[in-house]
Amino acid sequence: MVLGRMANPVLRRRNRGFAATRQEIISVARDIMREEGAGALSLHEVARRVGMKAPSLYTYFESKHALYDEIFRLGMEQYRAELAELDRKYGLGPELLYATIAHYMRFADEHPELYALLFERPVPGFEPSEASMVEARGLLEDSNARVQALLENGTIRSGLSVEQTRDVVIVLTHGLTALKRANEPSARIGEGRFGALVPHVAALLKTAWMPGEDPVSREEPS
Amino acid sequence: MVLGRMANPVLRRRNRGFAATRQEIISVARDIMREEGAGALSLHEVARRVGMKAPSLYTYFESKHALYDEIFRLGMEQYRAELAELDRKYGLGPELLYATIAHYMRFADEHPELYALLFERPVPGFEPSEASMVEARGLLEDSNARVQALLENGTIRSGLSVEQTRDVVIVLTHGLTALKRANEPSARIGEGRFGALVPHVAALLKTAWMPGEDPVSREEPS
DNA sequence: TCACTTTTCCGAATAGCGTTAGATTACGCG
DNA sequence: CGCGTAATCTAACGCTATTCGGAAAAGTGA
């Protein structure tokens, strides 16, 4: 019974180091959350899939909540990076409004387990750690500031304040995504009852807010 | 040790009949859902609070999901009744728009456990039974038709279809409520960042849609 | 290569969960 | 009173998260 050392997943992993195993656990955990719902994560199931027994996972995470917390932090990080990407692409141009809304929806479609953990409360008793909340608050402020800067680069025509208009944008963004996920989770963006509404909502917002390089002297960007 | 027969909660209940005990179980279950989150309901905890052992609950509900399902159905019923109340109060008058949005938010504040079960997916693996889904679809159609009738009793000025405008109303309603619950669960309606936004959003909607008894000949109702 | 340390893993155990089966208790009625 | 039925119990199964103590493997230095 001399098996090659690499036939055993445990032995195979031992050589890859702590960080790699951690990553594998996180990846499998996200798989389960995607398949069964974010709140249905089970450490025993994780252990089964990575070829371990459940107690061994405690070498890598001090509890199930700590695993959730790491995934939460990771999600924040990724979302923040993607927002930065959007900024590089659109600057404060008028397409940024549509792009921001559509991106939120796309993020929810592509990483439903992250979306659930970040923007819903699917796990009873789970509160992100203070460290993760710092990241989360940072993202929130960034995000608010972005939308606000965009709005200030134009003229509000509805009598609402900049902050109120910003919050309306957030409400529409989250509402559209939540309803799309609940009613047509697999529809593509631009399609389906709520997915198709995104460009219309973006257009509608321009009834209340006129985009423009400068409220006084407007020119088409060449 | 001759205790009065009524000192034992089990004996006390025996005389009250099946339906009363069922109600007590439902009530306690809703308490727990409100305290710990809708997904954190535990039959053992229910049993403890009503003075039973967990298996005894299976006399009244054939499973934990069946208990969830009954609460789901109850919530639908109640929400539907409250909508009918709104109709009696406002008819198709222009205040109905604000009242409908505010009512959704108030329902979420007053019955968070029902709101979570009806409009979120807090319990992994729980799908309402077909019977409950009939009720749910009925409510959804009712609700859609109500908003649509209100919109048709006026003029849409945004280029959107009636159905699209109706969906925008739904998006705003759900988005406002979800964000209020996540960020300021205990604020009163009309107060707080999102709670205070309700009247403004209702007003904003009238930029895209003009209310009126009749688009052609408008009169004030005496 | 050998001995020693550290890291990684597992087996056993605890306490809680949902659920089932079977025995037991209490009640209403003849 | 005694019988039948409805309500409740205890015991058990298999699942979960978690803790502990020890085994096993990997790494380290001579």
pLDDT at position B211: 81
Listed as ranges, residues in chain A with pLDDT below 50 are 1-7, 214-222
pLDDT at position A216: 40
Topology (CATH) of A65-222: Tetracycline Repressor; domain 2 (1.10.357)
Q: For residue range B167-179, list pLDDT tens digits in order.
A: 999 999 999 999 9
Which nucleotide has its C1' atom closest to residue A64's CA?
D17
The answer to whether A43 CB sits below 7 Å from nucleic acid chain D is: yes
- Write the residue in B36, B37, B178 that is nearest to A178 by C-beta: B178
Q: Tell me which CATH code domain A1-61 carries.
A: 1.10.10.60
pLDDT at position B215: 44
In sequence order, the β-bridge partners of residue B209 are B156
Angle, helices A112-119 vs A64-90, to 10°: value is 100
Same fold, B1-61 and B65-222: no
> Which phi and psi (to 5°) does residue B210 adopt?
-95, 120
> Which phi and psi (to 5°) does residue B62 adopt?
-75, -10
Per-residue pLDDT of chain B (222 residues; tens, 9 = 90+): 333 344 455 555 656 789 999 999 999 999 999 999 999 999 999 999 999 999 999 999 999 999 999 999 999 999 999 999 999 999 988 899 999 999 999 999 999 999 999 999 999 999 999 999 999 999 999 999 999 999 999 999 888 999 999 999 999 999 999 999 999 999 998 899 999 999 999 988 887 888 865 443 334 443
- Chain B, window 176-195: residues with a beta carbon less than 8 angstroms from a chain A beta carbon: 176, 178-179, 182, 193-194
Return the domain boundaries, chain B.
1-61, 65-222
Q: For residue range A156-207, list pLDDT tens digits in order.
A: 988 899 999 999 999 999 999 999 999 999 999 889 999 999 999 998 888 7
pLDDT at position B90: 94
Preferred mutation among B169, B200, B206 to probe A, highest tally of A CBs within 10 A: B200
Which nucleotide has its C1' atom closest to residue B59's CA?
D7
- Cβ of A120 within 8 Å of Cβ of B125? The answer is no
- Write the residue in B123, B159, B175 that is nearest to A172 by C-beta: B175
The number of C-alpha atoms within 13 Å of A94 and in the hemisphere containing its C-beta is 18
Distance (Å, rounded) from C-alpha B10 to C-alpha B214?
61
Can you list the positions of beta strands (E) in chain A?
154-156, 209-211
